[in-house]
Every structure is written in structure tokens, then in C-alpha cells.
Copies of this chain bind each other. A is one copy, B any other.
Amino acid sequence: MEEAENRKQRILAAALRIGGQRGLAATHMDEIAEAAGVSKGTLYNFYKSREQLLVEAVLFFVEAAVEEIPEVSDESISGEQRLQALIESMAGSFDRIVENFPIATQAGSLTPPGTEIHSHLLNGLNEIFLGYRKKIRSLLALAQSEGSVREDVDLNALAAIWVATYNGLLYRASFEESGADSLCTEAGVKQALSWLYESATEIETKNAFKNRAKSHTKDSKV
């Protein structure tokens, strides 16, 4: 069973690697098998079909990407510090996640709408993204209880915006041939999320959005 689990891991990892490079539609069973070091037949011992395999791979990736964001449950530090750590963490993961980001969108078109497997995928993604949002929301709530986030802020909505902005930057970055856009990088993520955080605090002067360096403004395209 140990070995079986190991194989499943290798298979999913192989599918993700290829899917990230060539796109899911061009990810073929032959290649997955070879990259995973198993035979094509073995793939069907673990997964009923190609669709199923790829859906599991996508869910595996998205979940892993979310889990990569640490809980920052160290209770010895303040909510504000934990949020700062969260921002650092999300920014630090940015480049790696960009690699495989499009596969989530592609997976939706792999399976005919209305089928069981299609629902399985959408439900899975929904759950993961909601969990993601919840995680951020709980940190915001902590910060709010400590007074660094204003009382009147709708935490649910802010958490949703937080995730949306991060995903939007990932989405945008996945189109670029080479990080041409300085705003869609690790630094850009830090700037954006900090802006969101600080817009929810009382302290106006910390605002990360202020023009600090004119040179930076010029560098950023349009």
C-alpha cells in the first residue's frame, strides 16, 4: 500500500509536470506513464480513465498550492505580524504556482458539463478555494480582534477580494512569455496584498500604495 500510494503520487506529479508545460489537453497517457516510470496499463489500475486521472491531478495541485500557504498559527506573534507573514508566503509561492496555474481552468473543459466527474472537479475546486478564503478570513478576524483591522470591515468580502487579487495576478502572469510586467511578480503580489491589508487598517500612513520611488512608477509598464 505504501508502494501503491507512492506510485499514485508519482503519476499525479508526472501528469502535473506535463500538464503545466504543454497544457492538459496535450497531456497524453503515454507520456504520463513514461514520466511516472510505470506502464500505461498501470495508470488504469489506479484511475478509471484519463479524465479521472487529470481531474485528480488538478485537485491535488490546487490543494497543495493552498496548503503551501502556512497557517501561521504561531500564537506568540500578533495577528498583524501573521498577516505580514502570510503576504510574504503568498508572494514567495507566486512564481512556482504560476507554472501550473492554467491547468485549473483547463480542467473545466476536459470533462463534459453535466457529468459526474465534472461536478466532482467543480465541487473539489470550490471547496479548496473556500477553504483558502476561510484561512485568510480567520487571520483577518484575529487582526480585527486585536484592533489592527477596523471594526467595520466585512471580513468575508475582504478575504474574497484578497484571493481574487492573488488569482488575478497569477492569471495575468500565466500569459507572459517572460516576466515582462513588473506588477505581476513576487514584488507585485507583495505590493497588492499589502495595499489590501492596509486599506483595512486604521493607520493611514503605512499605506504601501504611496508613491515612494518615482523610478518605480516609470519602470512599471503603463
Contact = CB atoms under 8 A, between A and B. Distances in A.
Interface of A: 21-26, 102, 104-106, 108-110, 112-113, 119, 122-123, 125-126, 129-130, 133-134, 137, 152-154, 156-161, 163-169, 171-172, 174-177, 180-181, 183-184, 188, 191-192, 195-196, 199-200, 207, 209-211, 216-217, 220-222
Contact of A157 (B22, B108, B195): B195
Given A152-B210, A160-B181, A160-B220, 15 more contacts: A23-B110, A122-B177, A126-B175, A126-B176, A129-B172, A134-B222, A152-B211, A154-B211, A154-B216, A156-B222, A157-B188, A157-B209, A160-B184, A165-B165, A168-B168
B180 A126 contact: yes
B152 A164 contact: no
Number of identical monomers bound together in the oligomeric complex = 4
A32 B25 CA distance: 19
A169 B45 CA distance: 38
Contacts of A166: 168
A49 B181 CA distance: 31
